[in-house]
Structure 1
Amino acid sequence: MPENINSENNSDDDDGVIVGVCVVGFHHTRGPEVEYWIGEGGKDYSTRWANLPFQSLPDGSHSHEEDYSYFTLLFKPTEEDENQTPTTYFGISCNRQIRTTELLYKSADVTRSTVQKSVVVVARKPIFGPIREKLAVVTRAYFLQGNFEDRTIINNLWENLVQLFYNGVIEADLYNGMALRELVYRFKWRSLVLFKALLLESRILFFGSNTELLCSSQFSLVSLIPGLIDHLDDSASPELDSYEHKLKKSTSLKSSDRNSLLSFMGLPLQIFGKGGMFNPYTPLQQLEALSNKETKFYLIGSTNSLLLSQKHKYADVLVNMDDNSIEVLNPDLEVPLRLTPQDRKWIDAISYAVSETWPDQNSGRTESIIFLGSEDYVRWQFEDYIMAFLSSVKYDGFLRKYGRPPPPEALLPQIDGNPAIEFGMEFVYKWKKTNNYRIFQQFTDEELFDVVEPKHLSTGGISLDEVQKKVAQQVQNLAPAGQAIAKTISSGSQKVSTAFGNFWSELESMKEKEKNRRESQRKKQASGSLFSSENDPKSLTESTISTKRSQRKFIP
């Protein structure tokens, strides 16, 4: 039984962001266990989570001087928890180890040459970025003092965090500390495959030896669905589905308000509803939960190679962070997850922007701070992508509802054919079988395409310059024969050289335009007037929407 301290601060407040802080140690006979807890109201929540010690001290953490783990915790209220409902809490741990010879005080339980412990923060929101740095400093100081029985610094951390988040969290807190750029840099076009696999409610398993990168990469993937990271209340267990029961259909739209637009478009899609689970670090003790009949899909992470030997049992998609590989293990997903030419063109442009601003130790180039290629840039691109996708799926349903071909008057004059095809019809069919699609369909307007244009962001042909650039990039990846070919190309005809020159010139111009456009949007967002540009397809007013729909009144 861990020691417990009743905090006077926030003692009567059960709605604070920070739930508690604890110390987890590795006992030589009992294994990982919670040794100390301080939290709101004097309630020791740690006794409710049997797996918390194992989540806080990941497999293989003893081989690192310092490591971090992010995980979810299912909160089940008891009789003493008045007016509370089952939900998800979030844990972040920093673990270290020290030689026993460096300790100033050794308890009777210390029998090994090293002592391993972690300091853990449990919160109601996944605010790992702002917490991580404070947690790192405190954990190092806790170890340096050489006496683990003195927990004054742990109490100070609790009080500091409660004060820091006394007024709640802002959106920026939730995105702080992500590894989104690294995710795109590592997997390039396959990052879109991962995104689509997430939408299809697949069983996605991340594996890697670096626990912090393993966990932050998964949160980065989740953050690509607008608003989802702030609505993960149902993610800790496949039994949770409170979000859907609280959801109401948006019947009004304020086009200058980004949140109003996202809500009207059915975002965030509820990926981890009934049957789903998200746990960035999943210890072996939780494997049984993955095999339960209630668990249909999940996004989880593991550092234990045992799961690699049983990958077909536990995963539809395996993401290996150690060798930057992604395997689609479920044959039923191979075709739906195959990117269309438009998909590939779109994600290649994002990948290129990230790679161009990636720090290079060999050249001495530091990480760029410009908007193009930044995490905000990537996230905004995916926000545009998913809204265009949702609109296209609604338009596809509209076309099917009124026959093939529908009356010319029913068609959007600026849209040629069925735009859903450009996202992959096999992917669309598969998505329509998911739980998050069912919720989306139930709580959104049938004609969303009047608000956001149903059109893939990369609609249009691929230019000769782009083809030549792609060929050159592929050739550069070949060695050693590829290097010789690349050298031949570089000394080739003036025609090719001119084409490449034109491409780079146009590319730089496009990059500058994109930077200016995005910077302008960011300023408008800050002033509460995002999407107010007359040229932005998302700036349609309600009167404009009504006019569009009145033109289709002839349709039975």
Structure 2
Amino acid sequence: MNENDSPREGVSPSLSNYDTSSPVLHVVVVGFHHKKGCQVEYAHPPLIPGGQSFSNEIPSQWRNLPSLALPDGSHNFTQDTVFFHLPALHNPRQTVFGISCYRQIDADKVKIKTDDITRGTVQKSVCVLSRLPLYGQIQVKMSLITQAYFEEGDFSKTELIKETYENLNECLSDDMLHTQQLYVGLSAREFVSRYKQKCLQLFKLVLLERKLLFFKSPVSELSGDILTLLSLFPGLLEEGLAESSCIVPEDTPEHTPEHSIVDPALEADNESVKSISPSPSVNSFIPHSDSLQSLSSRVKDRLSGALGYISSGKTPSGENPGFPEPAEEVKEETVQELPNFTQTASIPIHELDLPLKIFTAGNLCHPYLSLPYLDVLMQPSIHGYIIGATNALFKAKSGISDVILEIDEDRLEVNNPELRRAISLTTEDLRFIDNVIRVVSEEGRDQFMEGVGWEGGDEWVRAQFRFYLICLLRTSLESRDKPVMHHFNSQFYSALDSTLWYRSWVRNPPEKLVNIPPGHPCSGQLSVSDVKLRLSHTMHNTEGGKRVSAAVASTGRAVADTGKVMAGGIGAAKGALSAWWGGLRQDKSKSPSPPDASPAGSPSSENQVPSETNQEPSDKPERREEASNSRNKDQESVKHSN
């Protein structure tokens, strides 16, 4: 280090020290000092205009750069990758995208040691600050460069850092944003396989401008999952993150573009826009009360909204709203009005006013935030965000999050009951996401071609969510009392009406979108499989279902343990009974012999004497009879003699 080794955070340069047209703005080395903590050790070009590359000076807008490049808890890992956002120095309403490759090695492997190496390990990150959101593309290159930089063993040699800056600016371009290179390392297939039904809930949460916290350590998978979720929105990674790190000041005038979108006058505009439709509305397809009995087939096709559908079909006058055709033709017309995947896929996203301007006016997106941002998030000008964190204080601090996604524990915590109901998946939603999961998880796919083919690949998954989003937006233009609203969850639309981006978007919806028929891409008749889907989703993705599953599992274990105990007890009792019976039979086998067979003078003979005595009373009647007979004979003989 040179003489400019003292950190001077808070420096406010009047101009940035980078070329705004270059893909890469800076390549920075951040290290951990045992006394000063995380600090910038080298930057090319220098972060401060007119400064030195080895200076620790940091622009005030980037004062948290060191803590972002060296994440919380990084000492527990030998390597990690961090994606983060910073406001641009030349325009605070633009975003600079950071990609940091972290490494930790033993101090013994460092060939040229400096005075600041006082511990057994060395922790550093090589960080790229780019104006292009080519996260994965840059990360692949920086991973190899960081490995070579550490293997050199001499951190004072910075030629590799300078060459990296020049080479990246030569090989990166704006055209790469419109190719698949934008999605390197962001696998939509793996995202769906990991989160299953939760991925659709997270998708809808992004639209509601709530405070969503992703929690996991290390950072690589954490920030990667957030960016993969955003990649499901068409055009959002390419152009939708320009203001994702912009904080609207509290003293912003009420009539600026940032605040004009919340003008109460929007309510009247919303009503007029919702009435726009190039084809007859849903109400126009319902005959009057005299022909309701002919609607049985249509009612079955839309069973989930049958009651509300019929009740809304009657006009105040009781007359036909304007569709006098027979019921059979009504059914054919209804089939033609369903959303069509091929039709929507052929429309360029700019004609659909995509990407959506979600991350504007105080709604932030940070794939990773360090601890110093806790106070920043509490500013009144920030009303929503999607952030990733590894520090438990983000979960513990009150008011930081509306929703917490525990990635390791696969748990989605929603404390607000109304928000929980708003993101609850409908039967049609479950059909949609179950089909995506089934195709993605289909067995028998070639592992060498995984994610490359169309059906079930990353592009296919993003196309499905694009179709879902277009149908959701088109249906939102319908009246809120129509049954079709229930297909996407009517409470979700109620929450959507209060978001800033939607209130601005609905004032002037794109014409191409208005021409698409409303409805859910998976609407249809209810079946037994829908009941199974609902039951499975309830048991695996709701707190009540998880408690029931846990109770059933614990009860099963208790029954199994009780069965083992009972089986052991029965076995022991059976053994005791067998032993007793065996002993009894053995005693019988040793019982005394009959009297005539017993030897003289034996105990058995003595025992037989009382038996003979006992038989004597039974012989006395015979002796008395013989005596009586002899007396009678004597008397008769005496008579004859006389």
TM-score normalised according to structure 2 size: 0.63
Q: Which runs of 5+ in 1 are unaligned?
A: 4-10, 78-83, 248-254, 401-416, 486-556
- 1:224 aligns to 2:311 (yes or no): no
**Which AA in structure 1 matches 2:120?**
S
1:451, distance to aligned residue in structure 2 (A): 2.4
- Which deviations, in whole Å up to 9, do the C-alpha atoms of 1:146-177 show, x marking residues without a partner? 11111111111111101012565332232222
Contact 2:213/2:403 (8 A) holds in 1 = yes
1:229, distance to aligned residue in structure 2 (A): 1.1
1:236 match:
245
**Which AA in structure 2 matches 1:442?**
R
Distance 1:304 1:420, change over 3 A: same
Q: Distance in 2 between matches of 1:452 and 1:167?
A: 32
Match of 1:452 among 516, 521, 525: 516
Q: Distance in 1 between matches of 2:352 and 2:258?
A: 15
SS at match of 1:395: coil
Match of 1:461 among 525, 531, 550: 525
Q: Distance in 2 between matches of 1:335 and 1:166?
A: 44
1:40, distance to aligned residue in structure 2 (A): 8.8
Q: Distance in 2 between matches of 1:168 and 1:448?
A: 26
Distance 1:224 1:199, change over 3 A: same
Distance 1:168 1:384, change over 3 A: closer
- 1:394 aligns to 2:474 (yes or no): no
Q: Distance in 2 between matches of 1:370 and 1:452?
A: 28
**Which AA in structure 1 matches 2:70?**
L
Q: Distance in 2 between matches of 1:469 and 1:419?
A: 20
1:98, distance to aligned residue in structure 2 (A): 1.3
Q: Distance in 2 between matches of 1:470 and 1:203?
A: 27
Distance 1:419 1:58, change over 3 A: same
Contact 2:430/2:533 (8 A) holds in 1 = no
Distance 1:73 1:359, change over 3 A: farther
1:293 match:
380
- Which deviations, in whole Å up to 9, do the C-alpha atoms of 1:320-347 show, x marking residues without a partner? 1111111112233011111111011111
1:425, distance to aligned residue in structure 2 (A): 0.9
- 1:35 aligns to 2:48 (yes or no): no
Q: Distance in 2 between matches of 1:260 and 1:473?
A: 33
1:281, distance to aligned residue in structure 2 (A): 0.7
SS at match of 1:298: strand
1:539 match:
none
- 1:63 aligns to 2:76 (yes or no): yes
SS at match of 2:477: helix
Matches within 5 A, 1:227-306: 227-231=235-239, 232-239=241-248, 261-306=348-393
Length, aligned pairs only: 441
* Bigger proportion of residues as helix: 2
2:428 match:
342
Distance 1:456 1:95, change over 3 A: same
1:175 match:
183
**Which AA in structure 2 matches 1:200?**
L
**Which AA in structure 1 matches 2:186?**
M
Distance 1:221 1:284, change over 3 A: same
1:243, distance to aligned residue in structure 2 (A): 9.5
SS at match of 2:425: coil
- 1:74 aligns to 2:87 (yes or no): yes
1:65, distance to aligned residue in structure 2 (A): 1.6
Distance 1:334 1:93, change over 3 A: same
1:124, distance to aligned residue in structure 2 (A): 0.7
Contact 2:212/2:386 (8 A) holds in 1 = yes
Q: Distance in 2 between matches of 1:54 and 1:87?
A: 21
**Which AA in structure 1 matches 2:364?**
M
1:422, distance to aligned residue in structure 2 (A): 0.7
SS at match of 1:267: coil
- 1:25 aligns to 2:31 (yes or no): yes
Match of 1:321 among 399, 407, 418: 407
2:139 match:
132
Contact 2:48/2:59 (8 A) holds in 1 = no
Q: Distance in 1 between matches of 2:346 and 2:111?
A: 54
SS at match of 1:155: helix
Distance 1:481 1:336, change over 3 A: closer
2:631 match:
none
Distance 1:368 1:473, change over 3 A: farther
SS at match of 2:506: helix
2:288 match:
none
Q: Distance in 1 between matches of 2:487 and 2:519?
A: 8
**Which AA in structure 2 matches 1:235?**
S
Contact 1:316/1:330 (8 A) holds in 2 = yes
Q: Distance in 2 between matches of 1:32 and 1:191?
A: 35
SS at match of 1:313: coil
1:179, distance to aligned residue in structure 2 (A): 3.9
1:209, distance to aligned residue in structure 2 (A): 1.0
Q: Distance in 1 between matches of 2:203 and 2:457?
A: 18
SS at match of 2:473: helix
What do you get for the CA RMSD once the two structures are aligned?
A: 3.6
2:66 match:
53
Q: Distance in 2 between matches of 1:365 and 1:464?
A: 37
Q: Distance in 2 between matches of 1:113 and 1:38?
A: 28
Distance 1:40 1:395, change over 3 A: farther
**Which AA in structure 1 matches 2:162?**
N
**Which AA in structure 2 matches 1:74?**
P
- Which deviations, in whole Å up to 9, do the C-alpha atoms of 1:398-436 show, x marking residues without a partner? xx7xxxxxxxxxxxxxxxx64222111111111011011
SS at match of 1:169: helix
Q: Distance in 2 between matches of 1:147 and 1:114?
A: 14
TM-score normalised according to structure 1 size: 0.72
- Which deviations, in whole Å up to 9, do the C-alpha atoms of 1:450-490 show, x marking residues without a partner? 422211010102444565688799999979989xx9xxxxx
Distance 1:337 1:27, change over 3 A: same
1:151 match:
158
**Which AA in structure 1 matches 2:349?**
L
Using the aligned pairs only, state the percent identity: 33
Contact 2:44/2:165 (8 A) holds in 1 = yes
1:379, distance to aligned residue in structure 2 (A): 0.8
Q: Distance in 1 between matches of 2:450 and 2:64?
A: 38
1:521 match:
none
Match of 1:438 among 487, 491, 503: 503
**Which AA in structure 1 matches 2:473?**
L
**Which AA in structure 2 matches 1:138?**
I
SS at match of 1:396: coil
- Which deviations, in whole Å up to 9, do the C-alpha atoms of 1:74-121 show, x marking residues without a partner? 1243xxxxxx56311010100001111111100111111111000000
Q: Distance in 1 between matches of 2:131 and 2:513?
A: 36
Stretch of structure 1 that moved more, 166-175 or 89-98: 166-175
Q: Distance in 2 between matches of 1:325 and 1:139?
A: 34
Q: Distance in 1 between matches of 2:46 and 2:113?
A: 30
1:187 match:
195
Q: Distance in 1 between matches of 2:70 and 2:406?
A: 21
2:485 match:
420
